Amino acid sequence: MNLEGDSPERATAPVTFARRKSVIEALCEAYARDQLTVEELEDRLDRANRVRSHAELDALLDPLYLSGWPAEPASGSLPAPSEGGGGLPAHAGEVPNRQLVVGIWSGATRLGRWVPPRRLTAVAVQGGVELDFREAALAPGVYDVRATAVMGGIQIIVPPGLSLDTSGFALMGGFQESPEGSPPPAPDGPVLRIRGFALMGGVDVDVRLPGESATEAKRRRRRERRKGR
């Protein structure tokens, strides 16, 4: 597919880091929009890391262009993925139904006081993503979190008392759930439904008190187990 005229200069020019990263971000966004399955995403991410020409990178996006994906962002890259803690929206109507958080060769976080969307897709590609729900504003109902780690890691931190529905699959990686139990869903309470996939990476779901570190949480659980004996 000829996206930019495939000039001789472009055909022979080396693929830049920024160009490769923008294509990977486009693939992750397509996955979040259900234009790609997790298997298709894995395959294209692997090829995006290995190809050496612009034509090969363009070929990875061909079906996405056919379904209306923009050819090349004017700025040379896609809009930045969600990183860092976010403030509360001015109006409830501003809360998105969907959101994508991506860590590509870097890190992305959502923490502090923030409003999660009803469906959140987190993708870590040779990088890391942290989703901290301990201070998140959660309304009643189900929140879907789809976590995909490809040679990267995703950590999901939730407070005690939050109802969880978790399942995952790992291939040459790990999907780890917190040893703490989860209360049954309340009719008027929020439920976090987490679906994880790790390929040579990891997805970790941990229950912690507000402000509690991973080490402090382990110590607390040990003390609680000793008291329960």
pLDDT digits (tens, 9 = 90+) for 154-188: 999 999 999 999 999 988 889 988 877 677 777 88
Average pLDDT along the chain: 80
Domain residue extents for the chain: 8-66, 95-210
Can you give the pLDDT at residue 75? Answer: 36
Give percent of the chain above pLDDT 90: 40
Q: Other CB atoms closer than 10 Å to residue 145's CB: what's the count?
A: 25
Can you give the pLDDT at residue 172? Answer: 86
Task: Report residue 24 as tokens.
Answer: 């990977």
Q: Where are the alpha helices (DSSP H) in 52-185?
A: 54-66
pLDDT digits (tens, 9 = 90+) for 74-114: 333 333 333 333 334 334 455 568 899 999 988 999 999 99
Position 42 pLDDT exceeds 70 = yes
Which of 178, 165, 173, 179 minimizes the C-alpha distance to 197?
A: 173
Can you give the pLDDT at residue 56? Answer: 87
Can you give the pLDDT at residue 125? Answer: 92
Reduced to 3 states, what is the DSSP secondary structure of residue 161?
coil
Contact status, residue 122 vs residue 105, Cβ threshold 8 Å? no
Per-residue pLDDT band at 20 (split at 50, 70, 90) = confident
DSSP-assigned states of every residue in 54-80: HHHHHHHHHHHHHTT--SS-TTSSPPP
Can you give the pLDDT at residue 61? Answer: 85
